[in-house]
Amino acid sequence: MSLSRLFDNAAARFADRVALDDGRCTITYRALAERSNRFGQALLGLGLVPQRDHLVSLQNNATTLVEYELTSARFGFARSMLNARAPAEDHAYCTQLVDAAVFVFQEAFTEHVDRLRAQLPSVRHWICVGWAPGWAQSYEDLLARAADRPPAAHPLPTDVHSIYFTSGTTGRSKGVVLTQRNWTQVVTNFMVDALPRIARDDVALLCAPISHATGGLVYPHLARGARLRIVDHFDPAEVARLLLEGGITSSFMAPTMIQLLLQGDLGLAAEKLRLKGLMYGGASFPVDRLEDALAALGPVLVQGYGQWEAPILFTALQPEEHVTALSGDTRILHSAGRAVSFAQVGIMDDDGRLLAPGETGEIVTAGEHVMREYHKNPEATAEIRHGQWQRTGDVGEMDAQGFVYITDRKKDMIITGGNNVYPRQVEEVLYRHEGVLEACVVGLESALWGETIHAVVVPRPGVALAPDTFLGWAHERLPTDRRPRSVDIVEALPKNHYGKILRREIRDAARARHPADRRGDGRGGPH
């Protein structure tokens, strides 16, 4: 089975219903199928060969980005989506990594792409959505000249669907190769576990980049005849308006986006909304703020935990589990939920032994959602594979009920006085301070203790945090081995293009500001 079959069935069943809506125009399922057919035939007419020639796209959220995705999947072209917020060097690196033959871009990126062209000799065809410069072909002109003819055959389950790029928080991005089978499993996981109540009258709001996890909403909603409401960027006021007036039933947002919605006086209240499911993931969500979100939005939050190597979620914390936690034991709000129906999840030690409930180790997963490989990197692929299991690089534990608790990234662990401390354990407490907007905890080098715990904190607007007072507050609430010994109060934390905090960059900057005293630093240790 392939994504091609899924969409063809949907287009036949829901031909006259609206599939895509960007606030300016709408596209029916019939028109979407036609445009996808024409784009696919245009690519074939350019001499491109499915599975041999790779496509890349640089677009903000747009109807044409969904058309690009559908065409690639239906005609069997492997594709990548570049993060529109990434710098030129990332765009060049990722395009070179996959040896792209076609580069599709929006008119707004014309000057940016023109500067990249000399670095990308593999690209044979430049296709512009909008007014095309002389060195590129017009997307709409290509479609107008091509035949409205579907692909001659459906792709195989083992065919490459896409190559995604890891977020690069721990080094250079790697290319994650995902097959048609991987993606049909992603769709299954969404429809069975994450958003099981999708119906033909639903509207999914795509307000975070489709090039990332939000793209997982596309096929499940198309399969049910629902509408995709696309906005090109996240604006809290506009998103709040759409939630209140646009009949939105589902969306995906990062925790930061949800917090921004709740910070403003935007009129959001559960009784005014049609939401069935609001997925969140990609970063930790401080529990006290999660409680605020549930109070404002209602029992609709679904947490998904996954990574591109095992997309997009292999555990889920369901809405009813959020509600149960709020009515009594809030402990499970600290979890990432339990394994979805068609995934296995375990905790493994460094020797490959699966651990018992309550024991701490590396989170591993198995199933048809697991990537095929890292592109051109067999060593890295072998490093994270252990039989059927794939290592995530995340440290955590699983309780007797199957709830998975993510402690932190394995590489971020702080060893202080012989004790293992995971930054997230400390950050969850720091976020309880009413003056803290964001917090990141790193280890500083110490001749005496190995490392000491250092906090970097962004205060809320208008709040003045005194370092000594803040440290005293933290010391009252944390056990001795988890107490920050120093703190920097800053205006903002560096983040990557997906909004994830760059812990390594913060750690390096903090260590440069606070060098260790090799005779025994004066910061104090964990005891």
The pLDDT tens digits of the residues spanning 227-241 come to 999 999 999 999 999
pLDDT tens, residue by residue, 264-306: 788 899 999 999 999 998 666 777 778 889 889 999 999 999 9
User: What is the predicted pLDDT for the residue at 289?
Assistant: 79
User: What is the predicted pLDDT for the residue at 415?
Assistant: 78
Q: Is the pLDDT confidence value at 318 over 70?
A: yes
Q: Give Cβ neighbours of residue 196 (< 8 Å, ≥ 6 apart).
A: none
The answer to whether the Cα torsion of 409, 410, 414, 417 is positive or negative is positive
**Percent share of the chain, pLDDT over 70:** 95
Assigned fold of 418-513: GMP Synthetase; Chain A, domain 3 (3.30.300)
pLDDT tens, residue by residue, 358-407: 999 999 999 999 999 999 999 999 999 999 999 998 889 999 999 999 88
pLDDT tens, residue by residue, 113-161: 999 999 999 999 999 999 999 999 999 999 999 999 999 999 999 999 9
Q: Is 163 helix (H, G, I), strand (E, B) or coil?
A: strand
User: What is the predicted pLDDT for the residue at 176?
Assistant: 98
User: What is the predicted pLDDT for the residue at 273?
Assistant: 96
Q: Is the pLDDT confidence value at 5 over 90?
A: yes
Considering the entire predicted model, what is its pTM?
Answer: 0.84
Q: Is the pLDDT confidence value at 340 over 60?
A: yes
- In angstroms, the CA 382 to CA 385 distance is 5
Strands (E), 145-244: 160-165, 175-179, 203-206, 227-230
Q: Where are the chain's structural domains? A: 418-513
Residue 129 φ then ψ, to 5°: -90, 110
Q: Is the pLDDT confidence value at 326 over 90?
A: no
